[in-house]
Amino acid sequence: MAEGGETASRVRLITVDDNHDGQRLDNYLLGQLKGVPRSWVYRVLRRGEVRVNKGRCKPARRLQAGDVVRIPPLRVSEKDAEEAPKGLQHNIEESIIYEDNLILIVNKPGGVAVHGGSGVSHGVIEALRASRPNAPFLELAHRLDRETSGCLMLAKKRSALRSLQELQLAGKIEKRYLALLSGRIRKGRWRADAPLKKNTLKSGERVVRVDPEGKQAISNFEVLQRFEKETLVSVELETGRTHQIRVHAADNGTPILGDPKYGDEEANRVMKEMGLRRLFLHAASLRFDWPEPGNRFQVEAPLPTELQAVLDKLAGSI
C-alpha cells in the first residue's frame, strides 16, 4: 500500500478480445477498472498515459480485437476505489425485470444515476458490475436522467449492444413514458416537435432550450387521466434528445411536476405537500423486434409506489 492511504499497481497490458471489439476506449477502461473514479480514467487519457498498440489515442477511439491496451499504474485512495455499496447492489439486482443471455432490463429507481460521475460515486452500471464480478461484459445501451425511473437496458454481449444501438438509431425501439404535468389539459393527443439545443450556463449547469438551430426532437403526448389541476400523460418518443420530454412539456406550458430545472416552482411546492418528492417521469415500457424481425419483445416497468400514491391522493381529492 502506498503512503497516505493510497493503493498502487503496476502497468497492465491487456489484449482486447472479440467481446470488446468495436468498444470505445474510455468505456473499455471503465469496465476494466471497476471502482476507479471516472475522473482518473479521463485524466490519464488526456495525459497520454493510456496507449493502444504503443500509440497515444483519444477516448472515443474504437478498439479492435487483438489491440494491446497499456493501462498505467493505479494510484487512487482506498475510499475512491471502493466498489458500489452492498445496499445499492442489492437494490439494483432486485429491480431487474427482464434478463436473458443477451440483455438485461432494470426498473431503475428514481434518484439513482445510471453511472458514476458529476458528484455521484456509483450508479446502476457500477452496482451491477460489482454484484457480478465474473460477468465478461456489461454495458449500458442507453441513458435515463438520474431522477427518472423505469426501463433501463443493458447489454451482456458486444453483439447485443451493437444491435440495440442500431435499433435506437433507426428509431425502431418504441419507448413509452408516464408523466404528471402541471395543468388540466383538454386535448387528447398532441405532437411536440420543437428543436432542442444543449447550453451550458456560467455556473457550469447544463440546460436544454428550444432553439431553431437545435436538433430535431419529436415527442407524442396523450392524455390518460385528468385531475383538478394536473394531467397524467403517456409520452412516446420518436427521437431521444437530452431532457426531451421535460423541455417539450415545459414549452407547452405544462411542465412535469417535481421538475426543479424546467418546472413550475409553486406547483412543485403544492405537489410536495401531496407527497411528490421527485420528478414525476417514468420510463414505463419498451417494445422492439428482438433478436430478429418477427420476434416481438415487450417489457413494462410498474409505476413506483411513491408515484402511484400521489395519483391515488389526487384521484381522492377530485
User: Which of the residues are catalytic?
Assistant: 145
Residue 174's alpha-carbon distances to 166, 201, 223, in angstroms, are 13, 33, 18
Give the count of alpha carbons within 13 A of 11, CB side only: 8
Question: Are the CB atoms for 283 and 301 separated by under 8 Å?
Answer: yes
What CA–CA distance (Å, rounded) separates 57 from 44? 11
Q: Which residue from 259, 179, 250 is spatially nearest to 209, judged by alpha carbons?
A: 250
Question: Are the CB atoms for 139 and 237 separated by under 8 Å?
Answer: no
Q: Which residue from 81, 77, 76, 102 is spatially nearest to 19, judged by alpha carbons?
A: 102
Q: How would you label 149-159 residue by residue, b for 16+ Cβ within 10 Å and e otherwise?
A: bbbbbbbbbbb
Q: Which three cell numbers stand for residue 300?
A: 413494462
Residue 267's alpha-carbon distances to 26, 93, 225, 232, in angstroms, are 41, 35, 18, 15
Residue 127 neighbours by CB under 8 Å, 6+ apart: 84, 88, 89, 91, 92, 93
Neighbours of 281 (CB within 10 A): 26
